[in-house]
Structure formats: structure tokens, C-alpha cells
Amino acid sequence: MSVNQALDTAPAAAPLKVRFGGLGTGLILAAVWIALIVATGLYRPDFFAQQTLLAVAFTMSIVGVLAIGQGIIGMSGSFIDLSQPAGLIGASLVAVRLSEAGLPFPIVILGAILTGMLWGGFNALIIVFAKLNPVIVTLATNFIGLAALYLVFQLAQVPLNSDIYVFGRQSWLGLPAIFWPMLALVLIVGFLAPRTRYGRRMIAVGGNRAAAKARGISLRATRFATFIIAGGFVGFAAVLFAGTAGPFNPSSANTLQLNIIAGVILAGISLSGGRGNFWMLLLSIGFLSTIPTSLVFFGLSSDTQSIFQGIILIIAVSIDGYRALRRTP
Amino acid sequence: MRNFTRVAAVMALATPAVLGFVGIAEAQDKFKLGMAVGGNTCCEWMKAQGDVARAIAEQNGWDYVELSNNNDPATALKNAQIFVQEGVDAVIQFNGQPSSNPAISAVMKQAGIPIVTYDIADPGMYFVGIDNLGAGIAGGEALGQIIKEKWNCEPDLVISSEGAGAGIVNEWRTGGMRTGVKNICPDIPDEKYVSFEGSGDAAVALQPARDLLAANPNAVKMAVVGINDGGVLGLINAAEQLGRADEVIGWGQDGAFITGDNVNPHLVGSVFYFLEGYAVYAVRDVIKPVADGNTPPLKADAGDPASKVQPCPVTAEQAKGVPDMPERVTQLLAAPAGTTAYDLFCPNKG
């Protein structure tokens, strides 16, 4: 097919610039979040305390960084990365071992990030060269990764009073120290995504593969870069996880997936690619992180959290499906 | 001469066959023990249980067959059928997925093979296991003593880190610990007892623990109990992150995080089970009598077990003198037959 034929027959390309719309999404998220906070505060006025802020901010931190990686995967049209738990634990284990070896904290961070990137590259190799569905591949590699991790270790923990341990317990300006890197990353990625060549290519590939290819964008190279970069965020999240989790085992991160995926979808980042606003993650993850804390203030058991999370995920996936339908000509 | 040659040839050819038959006869006379280890890669002790059983079987001159249940009920049932085919004389199992236990019992009963089960009871199996309720009460009473000395029995909260997935074991351990605390400090009001679902995992327990602490912002003097050390550590770590760990004390179960270089100073004690050494109890009270032809009456109830494994509550200080599991296994196998890990390692015997 010639370039002209491709351009003639391809559906309209997604705009290269991410719309800052999603304003409607943001307003709805903010409204729901505020409503939840107000309702909880009316029921229990001690909800408005620094302890609550700390608890919610801690929960937001690790999930937020992982959601950036998940958002990159979604926006690039690779739908979803189900291998984040294995990647997170693997990189956390590297962080633990480097800490045990007494290496400086920056080296620990670098080691974890590189491990995450390697993990992302491993997924990308299979997806790109075997041309397999990313969802199936990452589901399989998660199983493989967790099984392999169980062969390597059963429990791991950073040394008490190591730099990473202390970092996980510090606070700055009234919020956890681990919150600030998450906030910075969300803001930076949200700013850079539509303004850098890689970001625009990622969005173009997610929005319309045929048109992106016609423009000369290498789908293979973009996909590779996407998974590696997303893996890097998993690696950084592993530093936050290892610093705060205490003793962990290979299965310790399995429960995070639900909130990450729901957070990405609620933020308006399309899992089928091409649209979304990373800044909205602050609202979606914030809202989702407040729910379990609110439930405890209402005196509800932790079992009810799963019910609410499941309902929210169904709503989120329905919204994403509805948006996809609306875009289909 | 020819006849002599013929006779010599027949004897030479027959000798291996005769020896073989004798060998088979001897093997058939030899007691054969089957062991199905749990097979969950989470836990080193499951493998160690097999190592100890194998060594004890060798010491007794028994044949030994070991299979892994792979933490899967269908595999556990299949292993039971393999044991029957192998002609074992008795079986020990740890089946972490007990839904297949009734079927396993039926298979063993039909084959006339006595079976011992560790820690999870079934009506058709000899029960050998820790007294989880006793372990809970012992840990709770030890913590209660500290609450009494430190806070005059006036804590702000007594927090339970639950692990509902463990079923009745969770009720025994965490409920037992609350009972133990109440035995020492009976006047702590009921509203001071709160709980959260920690799943027995320090990392998983972290977020619900933070939420519970946030919902009790004024609590300072907090005592923590839990289904295991990991669940208790989840609350302790959460308190550290919220800047409220100064007066938190925790008493765990299973001893997983009370030894080594990374013991959290707020984890003041735990209860050792010495899971790796269960075979000593099983062999002493069930398997050896079976091998000797004196099959004991079936005792399948956790409350009236075939053999009760004694829990060992220890403070963090006392735990420093307890060796790690590989060393414990080595010392246990070098000790006289019938010596339990409790006898060797518990600093609080009696």
C-alpha cells in the first residue's frame, strides 16, 4: 500500500497534542473526591487530621508511580501491563540486596530502575518479535516472574536504619517523603508527554497505528521504548515499596493491580491508546486512596473495600468502553 | 564332568535370582514411610519438614518416599493414590489446601494405611500439630504482662492483625491472644480492642493498618497481636510511617521475624512453633507404634490430638539465643531419638 493510499483509507489520526480536556473528567473526579471527604468529615470530624492526610498520601505514592507506567502503556495502545507486580517485586529485591551490600542510596535507586527497565525490555522483546498480544504476554510473564522469584527468595527486607528504610519513614512539609517524588513525576510526565518527540510518537501510535506508521514512526521502536520507560517507573516504585513495606514476599504486590488500573481509567487515560492526561492521575489515585481510609472511619470492615474497589473498576471500565465507542466512526 | 558343569552353570545363573528374591522379600518386610510435604514455595519450613522426616526414617532403617503437594488439593489427592500404589505402610502429610482431605482420608482408609496430618485436622487422620489456641493464649499473656508493667493495664488500643484466610487458625491465634491479654488485664474495655485484616503479610497489612491508625488518631499506647509476626509488623511499620511508633509494642506468632539482624525493636516477642521438627512428634507418637505393630487409636481432633506440638513464647531478647532453621534442623537430627525442637531450643520450657 502506498503512503497516499494509507492516508486516504486510515481513520482520522488522533491529535498529536494531548487535549487538556479531560477537564470534564477532572471536574467530576474532583467533585466526587470532595464529596467523599466532606461526607466522611461530617460523620467523623477527626477525619480532618494530619494522620488522615499522611495515610492517604502514603497509599497514593507507590500506586501513583505505578499508574504513570501503566498510563504510558495504555496511551501507547498496548492496553495494559499485567506484569507490574512481578516487576515491582523483582526490582524491590534488587533494592534490598544493594542496600544490604551497603551501597549508597542513589546506586540503590539506579539499580532498581535499571531492573525495572530490563523487565520492561523483556516484555517488549516477546511482544514485538513474537507479535503477541501485550495483555496475554504480560499476564504470562507475571506468572513466570512470580514463580521465578519464589525460587530465589521467600522474604526480603531492607536493613533497619539503612538510607532507604529511613527515607520510607520520613516526612517533608507534613507529607510523606515518598509522596513528593510521585507528585513530581506525575507533573513532569504530564508536561512532557505532549511536548517531546517520544511522547508525541507514543500518543500517535496509540491513537492510530496506521497513520503513525505512514508518518514514518517506527512502531517497533516506539513499543520497545514504551515498555522500557514504563518499566523504569516500576523500578522507581520499587524503591518506594522496599523502603516502606517491611518484610515482603513475591506475592506482596498482587493486591495493587486493581487500584492502578482503575486509577488509570478513571483519569481518562484510554487503554486503547491515544488519549489521556497524566495530571488527572493525581485526582483518580487520590480518590481511590481515600476510599479505604473513609470506610474505616465509617466503621466498615476491610472486606467492604474490595466490594467498592470492584464496583469502581466496573464503572471505570464501562466509562472507558463508552469513550471508545463514541470515538468509533 | 559334564554333569558337574551343568550343575555349576545352573547354580551360577540361579544365584542372582535367589539373591533378588531375598532382596525383594526383605524390602517388602521393610517399613515404608510416605511423606507429602506442603510444596508451597513461600515457606522454607515445608521443605525442612521433609528433610527431618527423611532423616528420621533413615535412622529407623525405613524406606522413605517423599512427594510434594505443590500447595494444590488435587495434587495432594493424587499423591495419596501414589502412596497406595507404592505400598507405603504409613503416611505423613502437610496439606495447606485441605479441601481434598476427606477424599485423601477415604483413599487411605480403603487401603488400610494410617495417615498423619500436620496442623489442619481431618476426622480420618491422626492430628499432629501446634496447639494454636494455646499458642495464642501464651503469647497474649506474655504481652499482657508487659501491658501491665508498662501501662498499668491501661493501653489506648489492643489491635489485632487478622488473617481471615487462615480460617479457624486465625480465630485460635488472634482470639487466643486477646484472651491471653484479658487474662492478665481483665479490665481493659471492649472498645479498646480493634482489628484489621492484615492477611498475615507485613506489606499487605501496611495500608489497612495506616487507615486504622488514622481512624484512631489519639491512640498512643498501642499493643498489637496478630496471626503471625508479619501481620504484627505491618501495624508497627504503619505506626512508624505515621510518626506514632514510640509506644507501640507487638507480640507475634510463628517467630519468623524475631530472629536475625533485622528485628524491629517494637516487636517485643513471638511464639516459636519449630514447624520443621514436627516429624519427631509424629514418629514418636504415631508412626513408630504403627511400625512396631501397635497402631494407636485414631485421634483426629485438634483439641485432643495424637501428638501436641508445644508452642514456645519468647521475648525478643530470648530469641537471640535460638539458632536459625537450618542450624536447628542440623542439631535436631544430631540429638537422641525423640528429642523435640522444643526440648532443644525453647528458652522458656515448662
* Cell digits of residue B234: 505491618
Residue B213 CA, chain-centre distance (Å), reads 32
CA distance B111 to A245: 49
Residues 259-298 of B with CB under 8 A from A: 261-262, 264
Evaluate whether residue B173 is within a structural domain.
Answer: yes
Looking at the structure, do residues B288 and B186 belong to the same domain, yes or no?
no
Same structural domain, B113 and B159: no
> How many residues are listed for chain B in this entry?
350
Question: What cell was used for B314?
Answer: 519468647
CA distance B156 to chain A (A): 17
User: What value does the mean pLDDT take over residues A253-280?
Assistant: 89
Contacts of A303 in chain B (CB under 8 A): 197
Q: Could you count the other beta carbons within 10 Å of the beta carbon of residue B214?
A: 24
Same domain, B81 and B162: no
CB B256 within 8 A of CB B232: no
Segments forming the whole domain that contains residue A163: 20-29+46-327
CATH of the domain at A169: 1.10.3470
Q: Are A83 and A139 in contact (CB under 8 A)?
A: yes
Separation between Cα atoms, residue A243 and residue A234, nearest integer Å: 14
**Do B95 and B155 belong together in one domain?**
no
Q: State the pLDDT at residue A136.
A: 95
Q: In this model, does residue A15 exceed pLDDT 60?
A: no
Any domain includes B339: no
Residue A118 dihedral angles phi and psi, to the nearest 5°: -60, -40
On whether both B199 and B140 belong to a single domain, the answer is yes
For residue B48, tell me if it sits in a domain: yes
* Backbone torsion region of residue B214, taken as left when φ is above 0, otherwise alpha when ψ lies between -120 and 50, otherwise beta: alpha
User: In CATH, what number is assigned to the domain containing residue B155?
Assistant: 3.40.50.2300
Considering B224, B250, B272, which residue would you say is the last residue of a domain? Answer: B272
pLDDT band at A12 (very low <50, low <70, confident <90, very high): very low
CA trace torsion B149, B153, B155, B159 (10° rounding):
100
Q: Residue B18 burial by CB count (10 A; 0-12/13-18/19+): exposed, middle or buried?
A: exposed
Provide the domain count of chain A: 1
In a domain, B344, yes or no: no
Domain of B217, in residue numbers: 132-272
Could you tell me if residue B54 is inside a domain?
A: yes
Q: Are B177 and B260 within one domain?
A: yes
B192 domain residue, yes or no: yes
Please state, in angstroms and rounded to a whole number, the distance separating the CA atoms of residues A176 and A169. 7
User: What residue in B sits closest to A299 (Cα-Cα)?
Assistant: B215
Q: Considering only residues 102 to 131 of chain B, which have any Cβ-Cβ distance to chain A shorter than 8 Å? A: none
3-state secondary structure labels for all residues of chain A: CCHHHHHHHCCCCCCCCCCCCCHHHHHHHHHHHHHHHHHHHHHCHHHCCHHHHHHHHHHHHHHHHHHHHHHHHHHCCCCCCCCHHHHHHHHHHHHHHHHHCCCCHHHHHHHHHHHHHHHHHHHHHHHHHCCCCHHHHHHHHHHHHHHHHHHHCCCECCCCCCHHHHHCCCEECCEECCHHHHHHHHHHHHHHCCCCHHHHHHHHHHHCHHHHHHCCCCHHHHHHHHHHHHHHHHHHHHHHHHHHCCCECCCCCHHHHHHHHHHHHHCCCCCCCCCCCCCHHHHHHHHHHHHHHHHHHCCCCHHHHHHHHHHHHHHHHHHHHHHHHHHCC
Do B161 and B283 sit in the same domain of this protein? no
Q: Confirm whether B345 is domain-assigned.
A: no
Kindly identify which residue of chain B lies nearest to residue A50, measuring between CA atoms: B214
Of the two residues B268 and B14, the one the predictor is more confident about is B268
Instruction: State whether B286 and B161 are in the same domain.
Output: no
Asked whether the beta carbons of residue A249 and residue B201 sit closer than 8 angstroms, the reply is: yes
Contact of B156 with B220, CB cutoff 8 Å: yes
Its sign, for the CA torsion A147, A151, A154, A155, is: negative
On whether the CB atoms of residues A115 and A126 are closer than 8 A, the answer is no
With respect to residue B14, please indicate whether it lies within any of the assigned structural domains: no
Report helix, strand or coil for B226: strand
Establish if A3 belongs to a structural domain: no
Task: Give ipTM to 2 decimals.
Answer: 0.85
Q: Domain for residue A34, yes or no?
A: no
Taking the Cβ of residue B38 and every Cβ of chain A, the question of whether any pair is shorter than 8 Å is answered with: no
Give the tens place of pLDDT for each residue, A31-51. 989 999 999 999 999 999 999
Q: What is the pLDDT of residues B171-195, one digit of tens each?
A: 989 999 999 999 999 999 999 999 9
Based on the fold, state whether residues B254 and B285 are members of the same structural domain: no
- Same domain for B235 and B142, yes or no, is yes
Three-state DSSP state, B289 = helix
Same domain, yes or no: B136 and B267: yes
Domains in chain B: how many in total?
2
Q: Of B301 and B239, which is predicted with more confidence?
A: B239
Tell the burial category of B233 from Cβ atoms under 10 Å away from its Cβ (0-12, 13-18, 19+): buried
The residue from B210, B242, B272 where one domain ends is: B272
| Chain B residues closer than 8 Å to A244 by CB | 206, 237, 241
**pLDDT per position as a tens digit, A87-129:** 999 999 999 999 999 999 999 999 999 999 999 999 999 999 9
Whether residue B289 sits in one domain with residue B215? no
A10 in a structural domain: no
**Predicted confidence (pLDDT) at residue B41 exceeds the cutoff of 90:** no
> Kind and range of the H or E element at B313?
strand B312-315
